[in-house]
Amino acid sequence: MKKNIAVAGNGYVDLSIATLLAQYHRVTAVDEISEKVEKINNRISPIQDDYI
């Protein structure tokens, strides 16, 4: 059963956790920095990570 999960922040730890959870659940990532939100909405990672 898929769950709705919210993750606050989109730094290295938070975005990694959100990415892993999104493989099996519906995830909403929240951040105060609008540039990060815009990148994520356009499927661009705001951090340097080979897996994200």
Q: What is the pTM of this model?
A: 0.77
**CA end-to-end distance (rounded Å), the chain:** 24
pLDDT computed for residue 47 by the predictor: 86
pLDDT tens string 3-48: 999 999 988 999 999 999 999 999 999 999 999 989 988 989 888 8
What's the CA gap between 25 and 48, in Å, rounded?
23
**Domains of the chain, residue spans:** 4-41
